[in-house]
Amino acid sequence: MTPFKGKLRTRHLEAMLAIADFGSLSKSAQHLHMTQSGLSRLLTELEEIAGGRLFERTGKGMSCTSLGEAMCQHAHILLGDLAKAEADLLAVAKGELGQLTLGCFSMFSGWPLAQAITLFRSRHPRIALSVQVGMHERMLEDLDSAKLDLLISRNLPNLDPALYRTRSLLEDKVVLACAADHPLAKTTRISLEDCAQYPWITAPPQTRVRLELETFLRQNGITLPAMIGALSLELNLELVKQGGYLCMLPYSVAQAHRQRGDLHLLPVSIDVAFPPLAAIWRREHTATLHIREFTNTLIDVIQNHDIVKSTK
């Protein structure tokens, strides 16, 4: 293998990831706005630097060798670091003091994230913030490739403590909610059997939470209701509003929307455990000052809100 210093270029990394994504030199060259022969030369140079073949041809196109897969992982990280450096320098040039890129699990993208962002901006107006909202697994990949600095999500048991630092933010129970004008919202005494007559919005099939829910209902002799698996807070609220669905949510999130008149919390108990909400970042991350400051801001928002005080 040739030493990277003085040999490896950004264009090599971009070519590596394009070929891995498209599985074709012609499509990758088109994507990179270069000729196929020029891309072939880049690949030859990169294989000389890496010390072996990075791709092999199959009936479905070009696929990574084991060396190629390792190279792709490092290419994602290196390009992510370059993008972060570019953003930080741009922020400094604009008179700001750096940049923080957040990822947030969709269920918490309203409360407490929105309030935390507002408070953080008042405390640190010269730090440029950018936010992505989505599913845990996809954003964890972005955290691994340095596209995100900090992830606000569930502290799942499979997170490797050797790779990630975590700080717990909130533990709360699971509740069932409906629209304020739902028939069940007008009844003072209801049971899980009553709730099972309506469709539910829950975690997707085969997830731990969904399996625990189904087991809990069966053990209590309740026929499983019709279920839709969805982890989009926006979609969940719209379905509840329009379709008469019941929605399973973390208590704090449901309570925030109850206070706005969006939801009614049903007086039934669901024995399903959610992992705690946590701030998650990579251990090798060197720029931890902004991460700590935003995490502290989130904790202030959570601990000082009456939603959480009412659970204690």
Domains of the chain: 10-74 (1.10.10.10), 96-171+276-309 (3.40.190.10), 174-265 (3.40.190.10)
Say if pTM beats, i.e. exceeds, 0.85.
Answer: no
pLDDT at 312: 45
The CA dihedral of 53, 55, 58, 63, to the nearest 10 degrees, is 150
Q: How far apart, in whole angstroms, are the C-alpha atoms of residue 280 and residue 282?
A: 7
Which residues have CB under 8 Å from 207's CB, separation 6+?
229
Query: Is residue 126 over pLDDT 90?
Result: no
pLDDT in tens, 12-26: 999 999 999 999 999
pLDDT in tens, 254-312: 999 999 898 999 999 998 888 899 999 998 876 578 899 999 999 999 988 765 555 44
Which contacts (CB < 8 Å, 24+ apart) does range 240-243 have? 240/177, 240/178, 240/179, 240/182, 240/201, 241/179, 243/199
The full length of the chain comes to 312
Eight-class DSSP state of 189 = S
pLDDT in tens, 49-74: 989 999 998 888 999 999 999 999 88
pLDDT in tens, 222-249: 999 999 999 888 999 999 998 789 999 9
pLDDT in tens, 172-202: 889 999 999 999 998 888 999 999 999 999 9
Could you tell me if 180 and 263 are in contact, meaning their C-beta atoms sit under 8 angstroms apart? yes
Eight-class DSSP state of 132 = E
